[in-house]
């Protein structure tokens, strides 16, 4: 119990350090110790942990008198932990564009985004890659963007199920469902096969679920 309380206290102190650095911009060990009313040794112990976790960065400050001292500030990783309001800003901008130039312009922007993502994908995946390789790379790239993708294969039907458990643009997609249409088209263009969306978080689904009918698509090509 005592060990747990000590861990909680240490975590709280580190959070205070991050909060101070966010407000002040940069601080020395002495300044932090004075603000927190703890020893400089204790501050350094917390800073070592934060530096290990890549939440802070240091630079050497040369002074007119005395030895140079280290000054600490937040890293980009730590800054990303603080609340941002990008979704609301994006929605406001899209709303303004729609009001000024119509819904067609908003849809054109989503198509442009889709094409850009498609180009990025084709830059890293060889054109002669087989279907499984393309699907693997698609899932990896979506994961890198925060979609939390899992791919499963239905052995009975031969179809693949791509499940996204997170949608980084969920607020935008709820307002502009055309974004989901563009994602479906992106998958079809990349995989060169038919894709159906069975669930969508933007319309109330628990996940975004895509059924990739690769086997049936190949069969149709052979028949034609």
| 222 vs 163: which has the higher pLDDT | 163
Tokens linked to 100: 């000024």
Query: Where in the chain are the domains?
Result: 2-79, 86-223
pLDDT for 80: 78
Tokens linked to 171: 């607020």
Does residue 152 contact residue 163 with C-beta atoms inside 8 Å?
yes
Share of the chain above pLDDT 90, in %: 72
**49-70 tens-digit pLDDT:** 999 999 999 999 887 777 888 9
Rounded Cα distance between 209 and 194, Å, is 14
The CATH fold assigned to 2-79 is Arc Repressor Mutant, subunit A (1.10.10)
Mean per-residue pLDDT, 65-93: 86
Identify the CA nearest to 26 among candidates 68, 83, 64, 75: 75
What class does CATH assign to 86-223?
A: alpha beta
Q: Residue 197 in 3-state DSSP?
A: strand
DSSP alpha helix (H) spans, 25-65: 29-36, 40-52
Mean per-residue pLDDT, 70-74: 94
Most confident option among 69-83, 180-194, 208-222: 180-194
- Going by pLDDT thresholds of 50, 70 and 90, the confidence category of residue 221 is very low
**Which residues, 6 or more positions from 21, have their beta carbon under 8 angstroms from its beta carbon?**
27, 56, 72, 73, 74, 78
**Which residues, 6 or more positions from 175, have their beta carbon under 8 angstroms from its beta carbon?**
91, 94
Question: In terms of pTM, does the model score above 0.95?
Answer: no
Tokens linked to 162: 């791509």
| 33 vs 3: which has the higher pLDDT | 33
Burial class (CB in 10 A: 0-12, 13-18, 19+), 144: exposed
DSSP string, 56-122: EEEEEEP-SSS--EEEEEE-HHHHTTS---HHHHHHHHHHHHHHHH-HHHHHHHHHHHHHHHHHHHH
Burial class (CB in 10 A: 0-12, 13-18, 19+), 174: middle
């Amino acid at each position: 119990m005592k060990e747990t309380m000590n861990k909680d206290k240490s975590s709280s102190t580190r959070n205070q350090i991050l909060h101070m650095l966010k407000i002040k911009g940069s601080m020395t060990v002495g300044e932090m110790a004075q603000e927190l009313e703890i020893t400089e040794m204790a501050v350094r112990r917390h800073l070592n942990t934060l530096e290990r976790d890549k939440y802070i960065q240091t630079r050497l400050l040369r002074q007119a008198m005395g030895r140079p001292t280290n000054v600490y500030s937040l890293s980009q990783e730590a800054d990303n932990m603080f609340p941002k309001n990008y979704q609301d800003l994006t929605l406001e901008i899209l709303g303004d564009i729609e009001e000024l130039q119509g819904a067609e312009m908003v849809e054109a922007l989503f198509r442009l985004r889709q094409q850009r993502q498609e180009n990025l994908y084709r830059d890293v995946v060889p054109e002669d890659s087989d279907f499984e390789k393309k699907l693997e790379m698609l899932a990896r790239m979506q994961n890198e963007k925060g979609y939390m993708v899992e791919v499963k294969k239905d052995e009975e039907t031969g179809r693949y199920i791509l499940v996204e458990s997170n949608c980084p643009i969920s607020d935008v997609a709820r307002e502009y469902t055309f974004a989901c249409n563009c994602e479906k088209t992106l998958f079809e263009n990349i995989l060169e096969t038919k894709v159906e969306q069975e669930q969508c978080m933007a319309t109330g689904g628990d996940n975004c679920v895509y059924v990739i009918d690769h086997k049936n698509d190949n069969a149709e090509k052979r028949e034609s």
